[in-house]
Amino acid sequence: MKRWVSLVAFAPLLAAPLGFGPAGAANESPSTPTASSPGYWLVGADGGVFSFNALFHGSNSAQCASVSPSHAPYVCSIAIGATPDGGGYTIVNPLSSGSPQFGDAAGASSCAVHTVAPSGPGVMPADAWRGIAATPSGQGYWLVGYQGGIASCGDASFYGDSLRELAASARVGIAGTVDGKGYWVVAEDGGVFSFGDAPFYGSMGGKPLNQSIVGMAATPDGKGYWLVASDGGIFCFGDAAYSGSEGGKPLDAPMVGIAANLDGTGYWTAAADGGVFALGDAPFKGSMGGKHLNWPVNGIASKR
CA distance 184 to 238: 13
**How many whole angstroms separate alpha carbon 203 and alpha carbon 102?**
33
pTM of model > 0.75: yes
- Name which residue leads in pLDDT, 158 or 98: 158
Residue 174 near residue 153 (C-beta atoms within 8 A): no
Structural fold of domain 5-20+40-302: Neuraminidase (2.120.10)
Task: Compare 51 and 21 and report the one with higher pLDDT.
Answer: 51
List the chain domain ranges.
5-20+40-302
Percent of the chain topping pLDDT 90: 65
Q: Output the pLDDT for position 26.
A: 44
Summarize the confidence of residues 243-259 as an average pLDDT: 96
pLDDT band at 94 (very low <50, low <70, confident <90, very high): confident
pLDDT at 85 over 80: yes
Residues 6+ apart with CB under 8 A from 187: 148, 162, 168, 169, 170, 171, 172, 193, 205, 213
Residues with Cβ within 8 Å of residue 49, at least 6 apart in sequence: 25, 26, 41, 42, 43, 56, 57, 58, 59, 60, 61, 80, 89, 91, 102
Question: Following DSSP, what letter does each residue of 63-105 receive, concatenated?
Answer: TTTT--TT-GGG-S--EEEE-TTSSEEEEEBTTBSS--EEET-
